[in-house]
């Protein structure tokens, strides 16, 4: 909860602290994602530290792949919960689902990292070919370090198709 004694910020200060533009924050307001806690006598919007937390939350949801309309819809669902426990349960379910998706993504990325490392390791041995070596030899090379080593799929797949002798 906000402490009423805390310092309030105008939108420019909030934008600087959040690493966003004032226009972005105005857009967040238009979407109902961010709400000023008040206004100055001159009509300038005022924000508190909770506003920074909200902007960080929006940013993290975007990092998870959500668009601003997605976040707007999710926030509306949270706001429509009948009770605080129901709202927190909805948030927990959402985060648990996102965590499962993130772990699956991480596994895919780790697998890709291993494949890339294997390809790079293989390609490091390609520096020994003679400049006149035919491109058709690439991906099935038996030279130097590649003798008795099968080319990883990320390397072997670049081979140009060779005409079949029966055609």
Mean pLDDT of the chain: 87
Of the candidate CATH numbers 1.10.1660.10, 3.40.47.10, 3.90.1520.10, 2.60.40.1080, the domain formed by 1-66 belongs to 1.10.1660.10
Cβ pair 139, 119 in contact under 8 A = no
Domain ranges of the chain: 1-66, 81-128+135-157
pLDDT in tens, 144-167: 667 677 888 888 787 776 677 776
Where do we find the tokens 């959040």? 18
pTM: 0.66
The SS3 assignment for 50 reads: helix
pLDDT above 90: residue 39: yes
Q: What is the tens place of the pLDDT at every residue in 91-144?
A: 999 899 999 999 999 999 999 999 999 999 888 877 777 777 777 666 666 666
| The two structure tokens encoding residue 73 | 């819809």
Rounded distance, CA 8 to CA 38, Å? Answer: 9
pLDDT of amino acid 3:
54
């Amino acid at each position: 909860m906000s402490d009423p004694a805390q310092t309030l910020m105008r939108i420019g200060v909030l934008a600087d602290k959040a690493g966003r533009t004032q226009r972005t924050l105005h857009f967040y307001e238009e979407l109902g994602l961010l709400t000023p806690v008040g206004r100055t006598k001159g009509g300038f919007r005022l924000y508190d530290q909770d506003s920074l937390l909200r902007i960080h939350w929006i940013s993290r949801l975007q990092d998870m792949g959500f668009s601003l309309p997605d976040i707007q819809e999710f926030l509306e669902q949270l706001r429509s919960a009948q009770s605080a426990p129901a709202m927190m349960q909805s948030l927990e379910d959402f985060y648990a689902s996102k965590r499962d998706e993130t772990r699956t993504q991480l596994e895919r990325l780790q697998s890709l990292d291993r494949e890339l490392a294997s390809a790079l390791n293989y390609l490091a041995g390609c520096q020994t070919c003679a400049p006149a070596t035919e491109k058709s030899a690439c991906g099935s090379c038996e030279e130097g370090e590649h003798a008795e080593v099968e080319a990883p799929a990320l390397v072997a797949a670049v081979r140009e198709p060779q005409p079949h002798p029966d055609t």
